[in-house]
A and B are shown apart, each in its own frame.
Chain A
Amino acid sequence: MVKRHELMKDSIASLLLSLIAQQPMYGYQILKELGRRSEGYFEFKEGTLYPVLHRLEQAGLILGKWQVLPSGRHRKYYTITAKGHYALEEKRSQWEDFLAAMNLIIQPRVLERWER
């Protein structure tokens, strides 16, 4: 079981990993997608997205590759690696444990009803 503060610290990295696992994306696209899916809940200084992406890349969880678009512009697309898929599965499992523990305290009746 992972401690809660570690889960919070890793949450942005987990979100990015989860988005990139669905399709290769570039930085700005990830930011827009994060905002759209969370309905604006996850908002942070845009420049701080790149340190998280670079940490994931340095850890070998994602791979960045420059691609030339038909318009001639260059973009760095990130794809998830096998190590990244494995890490994401672990994070999902940790997140489920965290949510279940939270629900035991915050919504005990919901769980009781569900167990019946």
Chain B
Amino acid sequence: MTTLLSHYLDSVRDNLRLDHSSETEIIDELETHIQDRVEELKQSGLSEEEATKRCVKLLGSTKLVARQIYEAHSQGTWRQTLLASTPHLFFALLFALNWWYSIGWLSVTIVLILGTAAYGWWHGKPTWLFPWLGYSLLPVVVAGILLLYLPKGWSWLAILLYIPLVFWLLYSITVQTIKRDWLYSSLMLLPAPVIIGWFLAVALEGKFPEYSLERLQHFAPWIGLTFLVLAASVAMFIRLRQRWSKIAVLLISGLLTLTLVAFYTEGSLGSPAFSVLILVMLGLFLTPALLERKIRRGEQKPVTKMPSY
């Protein structure tokens, strides 16, 4: 196969953003089509170079082909939709039914989340995995909060060790996720802004933990509601086909849940904090896109010039 056709197939693959086995099968199918077409064009009297150029023109834009194939594959099944929404539903139930302070229920939830995330991670990273993966980072966050309550001196030392470790862990998981599709990283980070929002609104007002736990109990039904909104957003994300509509769902969901936090906490989350949270949300959701671009540029082969299609 000529360099031009190889570049054509590479360009389709780069824009597909599907799982590895689906991508391989699609590229194989396009390759057999190209072989048939080039052979026929050569039989009609064209040279190898002419046949190749004609074949690429007949196939059409790589971005258009990849986008349409992506949309054919991007809609998850109802089973995948339910599985992807489940961790958000768990947290909605934990708060709505006031089970969040029961060590038993919390332990069951954490074990289930860690187990499911590990299973999905080692079984081809299916679409439903990413919301579970996001929650599996919660024990790390909780450990960080608890470090604040160590004796003076020890607390700073632990935090200095903890922060680089957390950044390294988050970066490694995000990079692995981005290799599949940056949108899944954003899906994984979906609950982060709302958790930070509730933490700021509930825990920073007064002495932790007694007063905050009381406030947490007061706001529990509304916290449950925000997780329910996240579950509905994830369901929509999985069922939608177009990328732009998936991105829109994530952004609307982030805005809506943060507005709910600000509304129900009646001023605990002031305008500056709300604005900063919106910026954090945009940063968390859109940074994976920039990271993906950087990673792909780094991985590109040092070819002299990429032809445009």
11 CB < 8 A contacts A-B = A27-B29, A27-B33, A45-B59, A45-B61, A46-B33, A46-B60, A47-B65, A48-B65, A48-B68, A50-B65, A54-B73
Does residue B69 face the partner (Cβ distance < 8 Å to A)? yes
Find out whether the CB atom of B72 lies under 8 angstroms from the CB atom of A26. no
Distance of A46 Cα from B38 Cα, bound (Å) = 13
In A14-50, the 8 Å CB interface with B consists of 26-28, 45-48, 50
Interface string of B267-292 (1 = CB under 8 A from A): 00000000000000000000000000
Instruction: Determine chain B's interface SS by DSSP, over half rule.
Output: helix
Q: Which of A2-10, A71-79, A88-96, A106-114 contacts B (4 or more CB under 8 A)?
A: A71-79
Question: Whole-angstrom distance between the alpha carbons of A69 and B26 in the complex?
Answer: 19
Interface residue A83 (Cβ < 8 Å from any Cβ of B): no
Interface residue tally on B, bucketed by range? 20 to 34
B48-90 toward A: CB 8 Å interface, digit per residue (1/0)?
0000000000111110110011011101000000000000000
Cβ contact within 8 Å between A47 and B32: no
Asked, given contacts A28-B36, A28-B37, A54-B69, whether A47 binds B75 with beta carbons under 8 Å apart, the answer is no
B28 at the interface (CB under 8 A from A): yes
Assess whether A51 is interfacial by the CB under 8 Å rule.
Answer: yes
Tell me whether A51 and B60 are in contact (CB under 8 A): no
Contact A47 B30 (CB under 8 A): yes
Kindly list chain A residues whose C-beta atoms are within 8 Å of the C-beta of B64.
45, 47-48
Residues in A lying within 8 Å of B, measured CB to CB: 26-28, 45-48, 50-52, 54-55, 58, 73-76
* Chain B residues near A52 (CB-CB < 8 A): 72
In the bound complex, do residue A50 and residue B60 qualify as a contact, i.e. CB atoms below 8 Å apart? no
- Chain A residues with Cβ under 8 A from B58's Cβ? 45-46
What is the 8 Å Cβ interface bit string for chain B, positions 143-167, against chain A (1 contact, 0 not)?
A: 0000000000000000000000000
- Bound together, the chains give a CA A76 to CA B36 distance in angstroms of 13
Q: Which residue of B lies closest to A55 (CB)?
A: B72
| A75 to chain B: closest residue by CB | B32
Inter-subunit contact A45/B69 (CB<8 Å): no
Task: Among A27, A47, A58, find the residue whose CB has the most chain B CB atoms closer than 10 A.
Answer: A47
Kindly list 9 other residue pairs between chains A and B, CB separation below 8 angstroms, not including A26-B32, A45-B61, A47-B64: A45-B65, A46-B58, A47-B30, A47-B62, A54-B26, A54-B72, A58-B73, A76-B25, A76-B32
Residues of B within 8 A of A50 (CB): 26, 29-30, 33, 65, 68-69
B3-15: contact bitstring with A at CB < 8 Å (1 yes, 0 no)?
0000000001000
* Cβ 8 A contact of A58, one of B28, B29, B32, B72: B72
How distant is B167 from chain A, measured CB to nearest CB, in Å? 39
Q: Cα distance A19–B65 when bound, in Å?
A: 22
> Cβ of A28: which chain B residues have Cβ within 8 Å of it?
32-33, 36-37
Q: Which residue of A lies closest to B74 (CB)?
A: A58
Q: Could you tell me if B30 and A51 are in contact, using CB atoms closer than 8 angstroms?
A: no
| B-side contacts of A47, CB under 8 Å | 12, 30, 59-62, 64-65
Measured between alpha carbons, how far is A70 from B19 in the docked complex, in Å?
30
Enumerate the 4 nearest inter-chain pairs by beta-carbon distance, A residue then B residue, closest first.
A45-B60, A51-B68, A47-B65, A54-B72
**Distance of A103 Cα from B36 Cα, bound (Å):** 41
Distance from A16 Cβ to chain B, minimum over Cβ atoms (Å): 13
**Which chain B residues lie closer than 8 Å to A55 at the CB level?**
72
Query: Is A51 a contact of B32 with CB atoms below 8 Å?
Result: no
> In chain A, what residue has the closest Cβ to B39?
A28
